[in-house]
Structure 1
Amino acid sequence: MDEDATLDPADQGRVIHQDGMDVLRFERTLAADLRAVWDAVTTLEGTGAWAFPLDFEPRAGGTVTSDLGEYGTMRGDVLAWDELQLLEYAWDAPEGRWHVVIMLDAEGESTALTFDHLGPDPHHPDYAAGWHWHLDRLAQYLAGTMPAQVPQDAHFEELQRLYSGGEG
């Protein structure tokens, strides 16, 4: 994404109250078909391009792992797997249990993506900035551009300012 691009308020995450808990939610319409988006969020190659490489055992009750290099290996649980529609997984980290849900719905030649971050702390501005940045990179990847393999950039810093209430 062009670091001088204007941030679209529709792309911003917001905390909602759902089923008795707070959830950080992002809703995006991605210019790619359902299969391309599903592959981008469930394959080692896809997740490695826009976030971090995740290896899923494709079933509820399966495992998810990621080689995080110097940070070790992340291992978690696939909580839900409904091909082309729903992926839910969680893993434990020093800051708490990470838990995300990705829901997809075909909209013609586009795909509606709902991304929910249930934990840790859905109110934390760094988590909102991080997921926003990763989802922008997902859109970039689906548009055919390989995102730079960097831990952060000027766009991420802009998002941190936005979500922490500073100037964007």
Structure 2
Amino acid sequence: MNQMTSFDGYAQLIQPATLRIERLLPGTRERVWEYLTQSDLRRQWLAAGDMDLEEGSSFELVWRNYELTDPPGERPAGFGSGEQRMHNQIVECDPPRKLTISWNGSGNVTFELAQRGDDVLLTLVHRRLPDRSSLMMHAAGWHMHLDILAARVTGEKPEPFWDGWSRLMTDYDQRLPA
């Protein structure tokens, strides 16, 4: 591992509008790739939605954060109780190493997978976030979603989604520059 890798779980601001967050997950790149690209596995930690793994293809992500954990935790004010949908496009696809998708309204997201012995280093980079509020919400969101992914691949029970997200919003308010 190089010294730039940080496994404290927190997203890092690597440029003024760019977040990077990493997780070390057990297994193979191919298995983690399935959690990124297969709707039935991705919906367990992020959002459902079938995707054709072709550059330029469009797909929809469908969030049901209330289904990610049992219990889901206390939903913060301002968040609807139903599902949310977002249209995206595959920007780059290099199975099982790299997937970049457009992120409606705020740049794009790249997932990179590197085998590290019996584990996989997942590096997520979210580019072109428009402001501090968006940086905080996405940092807390990615952090919590990746915590759930780590719990799913290790067979552990994740923290309630909304409780974790709210706690992380407070943490990121202290960590990200005003």
Interval containing the TM-score (normalised by the shorter chain)? 0.7 to 0.9
Residue 126, structure 1, aligned to residue 137, structure 2: yes
Q: 2:40 is aligned with what amino acid?
A: E
SS in 1 for 2:56: coil
Q: Which residue of 1 aligns with 2:23?
A: 28
Q: For 1:72 and 1:9, how far apart are their aligned partners in 2?
A: 30
SS at match of 1:54: coil
Structure 1: where are the runs of 5+ without partners? Answer: 1-7
Matching of residue 103 in structure 1 with residue 103 in structure 2: no
How do 1:17-166 and structure 2 match up within 5 A? 17=15, 22-68=17-63, 73-92=85-104, 96-121=105-130, 123=132, 124-145=135-156, 152-165=161-174
Tell me the matched-pair count. 151
Distance 2:45 2:163 in 1: 16
- The Cα shift of 1:126 comes to 1.6
Identify which range, 134-143 or 28-37, moves more after superposition. Answer: 28-37
- Using the alignment, how far apart are the partners of 1:71 and 1:133 within structure 2? 17
Structure 1 residues 71 and 138, CA gap change in structure 2 (3 angstroms): closer
Q: Aligned letter for 1:116?
A: V
RMSD across aligned positions (CA): 2.4
Shift of 1:67: 3.6
Structure 1 residues 60 and 32, CA gap change in structure 2 (3 angstroms): same
Q: What do residues 49-107 of structure 1 show as CA deviations (whole Å, max 9, x unaligned)?
A: 00111321111111221245755642221000101100000142xxx235100000111
Give the partner amino acid of 1:48.
R
Unpaired runs of 5+ residues, structure 2, are 1-5, 65-81
Q: List structure 1 runs of 4+ shifted beyond 6 angstroms.
A: none
Relative to its length, the structure with more strand (as a share) is 1
8 Å CA contact 1:50–1:135 kept in 2: the answer is yes
Q: 2:39–2:50: 8 Å Cα contact kept in structure 1?
A: yes
Q: Tell me the distance in 2 between the aligned counterparts of 1:64 and 1:116.
A: 20
Q: Secondary structure at the match of 1:10?
A: coil
